[in-house]
């Protein structure tokens, strides 16, 4: 075998772990969330989907704010080889990817076991597999140290122990309280403004506003949906729920809901993005020639992210289910 062939073969072997790592880190980026939560709400169990969002928003918000308070830098390069640079401007401790990768599978099992009929062993297998894939990928990509990962994991366990008992209360409040939308919008906006005062601009500030906006939109949409009777949760008398038989009709409707819903959500996101950034720049007299530079101002980044993803969340729990109801695929 020639030297060139050996080098080509070695490069191919090196790319395989990178592909796996890229797949693993998808469990912590927008593409994953914008598919995962709607799939739960539209196709599986709206109650579980809503409460997963509540837990995700809480865990990610506390994680992002803690990063800006501790202010530990990313691992130095060299010696670390960084295969990802998008989040390099953020701080490192704790790993919010590890926090999300820990919180979501644990919350899924906590929310579904006893509500749905399935062996607990399935959940006990899911949790370490999901968590380890996400956490190890962050080390492989050169974005976190082992200490960051361990801290994120333990921090998430602590948050779940303290706040999980209140998730049911929060979800019921979001749906039934008369003034829930005003309180939700005001609280999430206040949390966003507070987080923006913790440190200078980084991608974490935009992510925080995006998370809070999504959570507020989904909560407000669930309030309207509940009061209009579009999505009704199953009665407690019929729990635990049995898995429906998998048929062509069931799969066809699920695929149709995802396709129609995601097209609508992405259109809403693009429209709101094109509206909010120029409007915020005009209101606060900030030059809009360089959008990236303009978004480094809190006056632009916060309303852009919060309003845009607030509408995305509202679409997921209200507009899209209303479309499903109207065309008969709900």
pLDDT the model gives residue 32: 80
pLDDT the model gives residue 8: 41
79 cis-preceded (ω within 30 degrees of 0): yes
What number of residues does the chain have?
330
pLDDT the model gives residue 22: 45
The torsion angles phi and psi of 280, rounded to 5 degrees, stand at: -65, -40
Evaluated on CA atoms 184, 185, 187, 188, the torsion sign reads positive
Residue that the structure tokens 């880190």 belong to:
25
Residue that the structure tokens 């407690």 belong to:
236
Residue that the structure tokens 């509940």 belong to:
226
Q: Return the active site residues.
A: 97, 144
pLDDT the model gives residue 150: 86
The torsion angles phi and psi of 177, rounded to 5 degrees, stand at: -70, 140
C-alpha–C-alpha distance, residues 186 and 193, integer Å: 11
pLDDT the model gives residue 77: 58
Note down pLDDT in tens along the chain; length 330 residues: 554 444 344 334 434 444 444 444 444 456 788 889 999 999 888 999 999 999 999 999 998 888 878 776 666 556 555 555 555 566 667 888 888 889 999 999 999 998 888 888 998 999 999 888 887 777 766 666 778 888 888 999 999 999 999 999 999 999 999 899 999 999 988 888 877 675 555 666 778 888 899 999 999 999 999 988 877 777 777 778 778 888 888 888 899 999 999 999 999 999 998 888 888 888 888 877 777 777 777 778 888 888 899 999 999 999 999 998 888 887
Q: To the nearest 5 percent, what fractions of the chain are helix, strand and coil?
A: 75, 0, 25
Evaluated on CA atoms 194, 199, 205, 208, the torsion sign reads negative
């Amino acid at each position: 075998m020639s030297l060139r062939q050996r080098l080509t073969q070695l490069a191919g072997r090196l790319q395989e772990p990178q592909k796996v790592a890229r797949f693993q880190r998808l469990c912590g980026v927008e593409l994953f969330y914008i598919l995962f939560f709607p799939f739960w709400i539209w196709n599986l169990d709206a109650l579980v989907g809503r409460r997963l969002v509540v837990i995700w928003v809480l865990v990610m918000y506390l994680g992002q704010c803690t990063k800006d308070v501790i202010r530990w830098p990313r691992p130095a390069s060299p010696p670390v080889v960084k295969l990802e640079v998008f989040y390099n401007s953020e701080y490192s401790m704790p790993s919010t990817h590890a926090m999300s990768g820990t919180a979501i599978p644990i919350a899924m099992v906590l929310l579904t076991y006893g509500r749905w009929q399935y062996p607990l062993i399935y959940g006990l297998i899911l949790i370490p597999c999901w968590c380890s894939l996400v956490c190890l990928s962050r080390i492989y990509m050169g974005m976190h140290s082992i200490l960051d990962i361990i801290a994120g994991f333990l921090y998430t366990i602590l948050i779940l122990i303290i706040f999980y008992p209140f998730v049911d209360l929060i979800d019921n409040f979001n749906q039934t309280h008369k003034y829930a939308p005003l309180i939700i919008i005001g609280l999430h906006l206040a949390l966003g403004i507070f987080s923006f005062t913790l440190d200078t601009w980084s991608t974490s500030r935009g992510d925080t506003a995006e998370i809070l906006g999504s959570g507020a939109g989904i909560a407000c949409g669930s309030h309207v949906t509940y009061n209009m009777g579009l999505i009704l949760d199953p009665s407690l008398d019929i729990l635990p729920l049995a898995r429906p038989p998998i048929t062509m009709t069931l799969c066809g409707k699920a695929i149709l809901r995802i396709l129609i819903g995601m097209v609508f959500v992405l259109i809403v996101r693009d429209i709101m993005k094109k509206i909010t950034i120029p409007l915020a720049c005009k209101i606060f007299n900030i030059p809009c020639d360089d959008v990236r530079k303009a978004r480094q101002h809190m006056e632009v980044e916060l309303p852009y992210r919060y309003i845009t993803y607030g509408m995305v969340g509202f679409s997921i729990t209200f507009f899209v289910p209303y479309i499903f109801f109207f065309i008969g695929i709900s």
